[in-house]
Amino acid sequence: MWIRRGSRRVLLDALGANGGASQSGTKEIQALPQDEPQRDEVFLIWEFDPGSQRTLPGLVIVPNGELKDLLAWVSTFAPGFLPLTAFTRVLDLRAARTFWKLAHPMLGESESCCAGLILGEVISQAPERIEPTSLSPLGCASTLSYCMASALF
């Protein structure tokens, strides 16, 4: 995981509202910082290095009790990203600590079996002969097999 800590302007930078400033100042972490963000400060967290690809943070952490204030602030200064929660998760520090985990879900040896089952279901439910290159992620994600495989991890 990668984190960038700073003022709310750092959030505007990450959203591209300030001209898309670089993501310098990010560092790799293994756990959440122990100290709470100060008022008007945020922690932006990415799963992968934001310097290698231009992506929005997956998680924005705000001080406890400041969630509504931050969302109101974003609606004023970054109206193109409304609602912000449609683009990224926004949590206060207390909730983030409750749900924090770094383990990536793994199906292990059954991963290829699950993938074959999902693809087989998509192909068998097609009304006519289907080319494998025309399979969509949405079609795969809407199968019962996908739902069951997701429940395994």
pLDDT tens sequence across 20-35? 445 567 888 877 777 8
- Give the end of a domain, one of 57, 74, 99: 99
Determine the Cα–Cα distance for residues 65 and 135; give it in Å rounded to an integer.
45
Determine the Cα–Cα distance for residues 22 and 6; give it in Å rounded to an integer.
14
Cα–Cα distances in Å, from 16 out to 23, 45, 60, 113?
Answer: 10, 16, 15, 41
132 lies in the same domain as 64: no
pLDDT at res. 128:
85
80 lies in the same domain as 148: no
pLDDT at res. 118:
92
- Domain residues for the domain of 53 are 2-99
pTM: 0.60
The residue with tokens 């690809």 is 53
Q: State how many domains the chain has.
A: 2
